[in-house]
Structure 1
């Protein structure tokens, strides 16, 4: 069984633990280097549009958008989807104009949004002119047949030739060099090329239901926006190859963010992006369920329920918490299931927070928030001098900060900003071997991101040692107390957790008598 005709282990069983973690090759041959451009262009392609429309019976209209250049096309698409409740199809920049298609029935509603503010400018929406830049009459020299049915037939035959039912593999490698597609004019113009993939996915959604692996290798992709319809057609994809393309920056992968929640193996070899710093952690942040990257087993933090690389049964918070005496007032858990989830999460979370905070980044996304506040007036056990100089510049104590701008500025939004703020907080050590130092509560909450969401509110009170710059606790270590409220949203597809909000308050050490009763 050969999921891909390549020397990588793409789609193969996970490599065995121990020894080399390199995946063993299966099959023969390798990925070719021919290419196809999906994502630019001017020229015809009318029957491709007809094929897209005709595949699901819904007509679309090409529109033009101006005033968007203060941000990216990806940001624009997301903004219009959220604000106008309209999805742009095949959005591409042509100088100062973004062209896209929308359902014809949504056209009137979209035009009414002309003038809306976006990225410091006002957007204007208009129907694309019949003879405007970037368009050409259908049926010109070298173009496709005006018969949309023949276009669908061409795509159907191509897909059939590239599909392996035995391996549930759709091999879309090097499409521009495919003689059948070339003979039928699929690359006769750049616009035709850019519209081919959405049409192909429409046909695939009707004909090829059982697909677990897809190869888009060697297609000269410099951005996955042009092939984002793959995630709509096969949201449960297990294996994907993007090898030997031209992906250079993280934003080139952003259109796939939040997609493919069951992806198991990904091949990125041959892309410049693989040489960027924190490559593996950045890929795990975008694809949390990933198990094999470029043929190498990767260890995700997977704090929902699965094992992590730092698992240590002798230091398991979830095990030690069972030792609490029956009379303790140290916590409340709405259900046993919630207790098991949050105790497993918390033990792993605090361990990573103490040892390598950069590994926490995959738990947050671009909407997650983190803030820190210092409470210098809270009750304390010791009357000694407290040095808060490392925390005050980061603190968002609303009793001390009244400026709206300052309040907003001290909330870290998005995984990158959150990691940067966390790295500025002094190093810590939480003694997870003694659960009596912590009071924990957890209960369900609703509507964290959407109306139907059901998440968990985790509230932790406890203590830690602030580690000196040397990195090892000693007699100069400062004990602090803390309160932390974390809103968690379980991601069922990946059996992991998304941190929606993380609020940390630090105060002088006050001990644990409030909940131990001693």
Structure 2
């Protein structure tokens, strides 16, 4: 059995740095390779390398430890319940020294958590301390403003009769319990909460506040002693979905350089911080109004935003908003380098094909010159026995934050419009469970507006008419750089890092000629046949043209092909090919055309 009295008594001198924190969560690990003779430091380094999470206060199995089944148990601690849950998601996925069976991670339940303390607090509000606290809360509640004023409650004389002022932690838990009961039983609604002047040094006494008042809009924690703004991200990140205003003045953390960024990161909808506007509320609302579940998808339209689960939707939107804000600020773009590690990869591929002229708002004369030296399009860099070709392919895959930063400086100044024009962007996000990460894909456009910081690798303008003719000449050789709009596809793979800061392990950027958003497709309206169609074809005993969706007979296939031609403007040969590939299903044919329209050659059109 695991002995709490002996948990840090390591006779092998292989223990981690002691981090004494009442909020630590104990993790039990079992599996192949765990034994009393193991090297604990090597094992914890292995865990960190595979999961990016540190184990503190770890203990290798003592010689006299009883086996659990056939396995010894290795114990360690992590800093929060969220990290514990994330670490346990790796259970069964890792093998230490390739020894079977795989490692199993299990959270050891602590009996002294705030949640249990709140739940165990007396719910009797008719007598004793419960009655005093209940009356105190109701006296401080304003139903008209939906506001609860709990400022300076640790000095309130009314509470002295409860005897709880001698234990402010227990008093806080009692008040939260009463608030929870009043919301459930009396139906009171709290949108504004004042907790100023109560001597909080951190968020531990109130860390479960999001569970009790999840719809809190305004919160004041001014005149306390909270020293670390990062605590808000650790305990409350993305938990207050409606938090709009936060007041934190007269706390030591307010002097930290990262103070505002930490709060903006923790609360994606925060507009006011200490009465100062930190975000444009109209833009924030516009962005969140198009998230999944807030706007119904009209019939015939593709879903513009897809998130595998609701818990990652706000995180993804917030991450991309902050990412492109720094990306577009050329002087501060290198701040993003901190998100890339030594094994991270970044590459650019230029799709230089010209969109068909039939596509409205498409750029028929794109210029990709500024990306020439970074382009890793493998169609442009084919594999061959040439050592120069091999070196070129390797050199254009940027690895590590230093090389990636060098590549960033060779890219032009740009502006994305994710917040200003969200309807022209599409985002998909799925979880990557094997590495406890996620893959984000975003499609949209940006506008080039200036030269790169590093101009040494820019193409030089030269005299003479060296420009090749033809519509497929995407590189305007011999000309100066012409900036404009570009469409792009970007795929970013994220894994969690220390203190909740994400790590970008892979970043693939595809740049192409600007076209309108491909996902704004609508089901085509019925098309009237042209007057040149023969009367015999129109008078045959078959359904009306707007009812032909799947063709079986030769006559139906002829009409369906004509209908596809009129919508797509394809010539007969390509229209027949499209119909055959779609098994003569009209909807499938139109979807197939819209999804591959950028790859159809000009000769395919009428």
Alignment TM class, shorter chain as reference: 0.3 to 0.5
The normalised TM-score by structure 1 is 0.48
Task: Specify which structure has the higher proportion of helix.
Answer: 2
Largest Rg, 1 or 2:
2
Structure with the bigger RCO (C-alpha within 8 Å, sep 6+) is 1
